[in-house]
A and B are shown apart, each in its own frame.
Chain A
C-alpha cells in the first residue's frame, strides 16, 4: 500500500528581485519520520520553510499537505528560526494562546500546557512571565508551543540553536517522541552530529538547489566520488627517515583521492582519507611506512558533517567560486 506523504513539495521556486533564492526544490516528508533539511547559510532553507508554512508564496511549484492543496494550520506545528514570545505573558497563557491559534479549545490547551510545563519542571513557574526565563528556557516554551496541539507535521527551524548540551539531548528525545507518536518532522539545523543521530532521511541544498538527498547510507554512497568511510592514521616521522612529501606519496597510491592532514601535538600528523568502504589499505601502508611510523589506524563511516562539507565545497567549486583541492594540509 502506498502511503501518501504528510508533506509533498514539488519544484518550489522563489525570487526576490533579481536574486533567485530557491530554485526548484522537491522533497516529501512521511509520517513517523524525521527529515533533515540541510544547507549552508543563505542556501534558501528558511525561505523554503516559509513557503511551506504559507508565510510567503512560491513563485512556482506546489506544496501539498496530506495529499491536498493548502496547509491545515491546525495540524502543523512551526518553530521558526527567529525566536519570539510575548515577554509580559505568563508561561501558561503563552501556551494557551499558541494552542488556541492552532484550533485547540482553551480548556484543552490549558490542560496540555500544564501537563507539558510539569514535565519540563516548570510546575512552580506557570504564572511566571516569559521575560523572566533564560534564553534556553524560552526556547523550550516556544518548542512546546509548536507541539502542544499534537500536530501531524512539525517544522523545526534551528531548534538546537543556543541550547546547552543537556537541553540539546532533551530536544533530541522530544523529537524522537514525536516520530514515535506518528508525526512527520521536518528539521533544519546546523548541529550535524545531532541531526545525524536523529534523522531518517536528508535533503542538502546549496544556492537554492538540491545537492544530495536520501538516507545517510545513500548520501555516503554518493558523496565524495563513492567514498563511504574515513580512515584516520596517526603518523609520526620515522627517525632517520628521508624527508618526503606526504602529498606526493599519497598521490602515487591514491590518485585523485581525497585526504586531509593536520599537524597535531608533539610532531604527530593526523591523516584523514576518504575511501570507498572496504578499500585495501596495504599499498598505502607500504608507501607511508618508508618515511613514517604509523601509530594508530581507525576507520569510521563518513559522517554527515564530512558529507555536507564535501558536497557544499564541491558545489562551490563547480560554481567557479573556488574550493579546497582534493588533498589539503592544515596546521
Chain B
C-alpha cells in the first residue's frame, strides 16, 4: 500500500502544490501591498467649481486630479468602474466644517477606503484646528496617542504569530491525514463487502480481528503522509536557517504526536464503524455522511483554542474525544494546557478509541452478511444483542 503509485505521488505532489500555491499567493500579496493605488481627488470651492488641488501625500497612494467633465460624479463613476482610477474622493469646500465627503468606489468597502478616510479626517482636523489658531505642531501634540507599557503576568513563549501558525498547522495535519485515509479505508471495507470476500475472511479470523487489522493498517498509512510532510517541513525550515516557532518544542511535538496517534485510531475506528454499515459508497445515508465529516467540527473552535487556550470552556471541550485530538495540541502550543489536562485527555481519548474499535467490530459482524441492505442504527443495536 505504501508503495502504491498514487500514494507516493500524492505524498510528494501535495506538498509541492501547497508550497507553490503559498509562494504564489504571498508574491501576489506583496506586489499588491507595494503597488501605489491611483485615487482621483476632486476638491471643490464654495461655488462648486473644481479647484484642481490634491491631498497631502500618503504612502501607497497616488493622487490624480481630473478636471472638467472628467471631474463630474458620473464620469468619475464610469472611470472607477473601468478600473482607472481605483476610486475617487470628492471634497466639498466645507468638508472640514461638516460637509459630506463623497467616495466613488467600484465595490462596497474597498481596501483603500479606511486609509484614505483617515487621511482626509486628519486633513479636516488640521483645518478646524487652524480655524482656532492651532498650528500643525500644536495640533500634533494635542492629538498624540498615549504611551503604554505592558507587564505580562504569565508570558507565552515565542512570537505570537509563529505560534498561531504552528498551532493551525497541527490541526490541519490531523485533518488532512484523517480525510486522506478515509478514501482508502472506504475502499478497503466496502470494496471487500462488494467483492464478497468478507465471508471467506471472517471464517478464518474473527470480525473484530478483521476490523482491528483495518484500523491498524490504515492508521499507519494515514499517518505516513503527514509525518513525511511534517518532517520535510521542519527540515526545510532548518536548512533555510529559519527559526522554528517557539511553540514547536519537544513538549508540543510529543503531545501532538501522542494525540495524533491515538486520535487517528479513534477517527479510523469511527470511519470503520460507519463504513461497516454501508453497502456501497454510492448509497451513504445523510447520517453516515455527517459522521464522516465529524473531524471537521473541532475546526469551528480553532480560533477559540488559539486565542483563549486557558478558558474554562476550552479546557472542558479539549477533553472530549471528538475535539481533543485537534484542540489539546493547540492549547499546548499556545501554552494554555497543564500537563495533567494533557494526560487526562489522552486517557479519555484512548478509552474512546477502544470503544470505537469494538463498535466497529460489532457493526461489521452484524452487518457484513446483509448484502444489498444498509444496516440502520436500530438494527445494529438489536443484532449486537443477538450477536
- Judged by a CB distance under 8 angstroms, whether B387 is at the interface is yes
Query: Quick one: CB contact mask for A57-91 with B, threshold 8 Å, 1 for yes?
Result: 10100000000000001001010101111110000
Considering the complex, give the chain B residue whose CB is closest to the CB of A94: B197
- A268–B291 Cα distance when bound, in Å, is 70
Check B200 against A142 for contact (C-beta < 8 Å): yes
B234 within 8 A of A: no
Say whether B195 contacts A73, CB under 8 Å.
Answer: no
Question: A102 within 8 Å of B by Cβ?
Answer: yes
CB B240 to nearest CB in A, in angstroms, measures 42
**Interface: A300 (CB within 8 A):** no
A56 touches B200 (CB 8 A): no
| Interchain CB contact (< 8 A) of B200 among A54, A57, A80 | A80
**Shortest CB–CB separation between residue A39 and chain B, in angstroms?**
19
Q: How many residues of B contact A (CB 8 A)?
A: 16
With known contacts A55-B369, A56-B369, A57-B387, A78–B203 Cβ distance under 8 A: yes
Q: Kindly identify, within residues 83 to 125 of chain A, every residue whose CB is under 8 Å from any CB belonging to chain B.
A: 83-87, 98, 101-102
* A59–B199 CA distance with the chains assembled, in angstroms: 20
A145 at the interface (CB under 8 A from B): yes
B225 interface residue, CB < 8 Å from A?
no
In contact, A82 and B201 (Cβ under 8 angstroms): no
Chain A 138-166 interface residues, beta-carbon cutoff 8 Å to B: 142, 145
Any A CB within 8 A of the CB of B204: yes
The answer to whether B199 and A82 have CB atoms under 8 Å apart is yes
Given the interface pairs A50-B369, A56-B369, the reply to whether A83 lies near B203 with Cβ below 8 Å is no
Which residue of A is nearest B382, CB measured? A17
Shortest distance from the beta carbon of B369 to any chain A beta carbon, whole Å: 7
Contact (A84, B199) CB under 8 Å given A55-B369, A57-B387 = yes
Is B205 interfacial (CB-CB < 8 Å)? yes
Given A50-B369, A84-B195, A86-B195: A55 and B202 within 8 A (CB)? yes
- Minimum CB distance partner of A102 in chain B: B204
B203 lies within 8 A of A84 (CB): no
Q: Does the CB pair A84–B200 fall under 8 Å?
A: yes
Residue of B nearest to A16 (CB): B386
Q: Residue A53 at the B interface, CB < 8 A?
A: yes
Task: Report chain B residues within 8 Å CB of A145.
Answer: 200
Q: Mark contacts of B363-386 with chain A using CB atoms, 8 A cut-off: 1 yes-contact digit, 0 otherwise.
A: 000000101000000000000001
Bound CA–CA A50/B387 (angstroms):
13
Query: Smallest distance from the beta carbon of A92 to chain B beta carbons, Å?
Result: 17
Residues on A with C-beta less than 8 A from B203 are 53-55, 73, 76, 78, 80
Q: Cβ of A85: which chain B residues have Cβ within 8 Å of it?
A: 195, 197
A73 to B198, CA, bound (A): 15
Residues of B within 8 A of A101 (CB): 201, 204-205
Determine the chain B residues whose CB is within 8 A of the CB of A142 once the complex forms: 200
Query: Across the interface, which residues of B come within 8 angstroms of A53, CB to CB?
Result: 203
Report yes or no: B199 in contact with A55, Cβ–Cβ below 8 A: yes
User: What's the least CB distance linking A238 to chain B, in Å?
Assistant: 58
Interface residues of B in 218-254 (CB under 8 A from A): none
* A50-B368 Cα distance, complex, nearest whole Å: 12
B196 at the interface (CB under 8 A from A): yes
Given known A-B contacts A55-B199, A84-B200, A142-B200, A73 and B369 have beta carbons under 8 A apart = no
Please measure, in the bound complex, the distance between the C-alpha atom of A84 and the C-alpha atom of B197, giving whole angstroms.
4
Residues of chain A lying within 8 A (CB to CB) of residue B204:
73, 78, 98, 101-102
Specify which chain A residues have a CB less than 8 angstroms from the CB of B202 in the assembled complex.
55
A78 to B203: give the CA distance in the assembly, Å: 7
Is A73 a contact partner of B205 (Cβ separation < 8 A)?
yes
B196 contacts A83, C-beta separation under 8 Å: yes
Question: When the two chains form their complex, are residues B199 and A80 in contact, meaning their CB atoms are under 8 A apart?
Answer: yes
Which residues of B sit under 8 angstroms from A54, Cβ to Cβ?
203
CA distance A327 to B282 in the complex (A): 53
Chain A residues whose C-beta falls within 8 Å of the C-beta of B371 in the assembled complex: 82
Report which residue of B192, B197, B369, B386 has the largest number of chain A beta carbons within 10 angstroms of its beta carbon.
Answer: B197
In the complex, what residue of chain B is closest to A49 when comparing beta carbons?
Answer: B203
Minimal Cβ-Cβ distance residue in A for B201: A101
With CB as the reference atom, state the residue of chain B lying closest to A98: B200
Q: Top 4 A-B pairs ranked by shortest CB distance?
A: A84-B196, A101-B204, A84-B197, A78-B203
A-B contact pairs, 13 of them (CB 8 A): A53-B203, A55-B203, A56-B387, A59-B386, A78-B200, A78-B203, A80-B203, A83-B196, A84-B197, A85-B197, A86-B197, A98-B204, A101-B204
Q: Which residues of A contact B (CB under 8 A)?
A: 50, 53-57, 59, 73, 76, 78, 80, 82-87, 98, 101-102, 142, 145
